[in-house]
Amino acid sequence: MMDQSSSRIRVLLADDHVVVRAGIRKFLEQSSDIQVIAEASNGQEACELLKQDMTDVIVLDIQMPLMSGIEVTRWIRAKHIAVGILILTAYDDEPYVQAVLQAGANGYVLKTAEPQEIIDGVRDVFHGKSVLDATLTQKLIAKLSEQPETRVIDPLTDRELQIVALTAKGYTNKAIGAQLSISDRTVQNHLANVFQKLNAESRTEAVMRAVSLGLISVHSAEIN
């Protein structure tokens, strides 16, 4: 279970390639605040290890035997396990990104990223922030800008725009509520309205649509 009072962030690595796991483990553990407590070579093994309730953040590949990273993410959220999920993969295709974020992952970083970006991604996910590789952010923005449907059903209110901007910066509902002096339930209700108005199915898609429509700046959308 995530425990931000703990001195080190406890990480579970899940990837079916031994060499990849060894490399990730090596540079993660160079950080004094991160400890890799276990490794899994397939999705099913990752789920079994998560049942031990010792993990703060799982660093998860998408393509794995027995259960994919998307299936593991859905299983985690269905079981209400309090763990941060950082997807670390070679796949930069939009369907993968959308599927895993909609499943409930907190972040998506490419294996081509610099080690420090991955380390920062683990830290950000642990602290409740959203993480999206900068390359993927720009790719999604470009993809959405190509779509013929760029119309907002109803204009966003000033409060909804504030919430979208804070969402783009990676704040959780609770953190947004604290910033705006409203409850996280109220934030959730506002986001539901935003999703409907922007025809979005996830926080990330809402942010990207808001950028493509010029409602918030590209700088605000750099949520990693």
Query: Per-residue pLDDT for 118 more than 60?
Result: yes
In which band, very low, low, confident or very high, does the pLDDT at 172 lie, cut at 50, 70 and 90? confident
Residue 4 domain-assigned?
no
Residue 188 domain-assigned?
yes
**Residue 143: per-residue pLDDT:** 59
The answer to whether residues 188 and 147 belong to one domain is: yes
Among the listed residues 104, 173, 105, the one whose alpha carbon sits nearest the alpha carbon of residue 133: 105
Question: 43, exposed or middle or buried, with CB in 10 Å at 0-12, 13-18, 19+?
Answer: buried
**Residue 213: per-residue pLDDT:** 74
How are strands ordered across the β-sheet holding 131-132? 34-40, 9-14, 57-60, 84-89, 107-110, 131-132
Residues 54-75, mean pLDDT to the nearest whole number: 92
In which band, very low, low, confident or very high, does the pLDDT at 175 lie, cut at 50, 70 and 90? confident
The answer to whether residues 113 and 167 belong to one domain is: no
Residue 217 domain-assigned?
yes
The answer to whether residues 119 and 205 belong to one domain is: no
The answer to whether residues 91 and 172 belong to one domain is: no
d(CA 169, CA 219): 9
How many domains does the chain fold into? 2
In which band, very low, low, confident or very high, does the pLDDT at 136 lie, cut at 50, 70 and 90? low
Which residues span the domain enclosing 128?
A: 9-132
We report the CATH number of the domain holding residue 165 as 1.10.10.10
pTM for the predicted model, two decimal places:
0.66
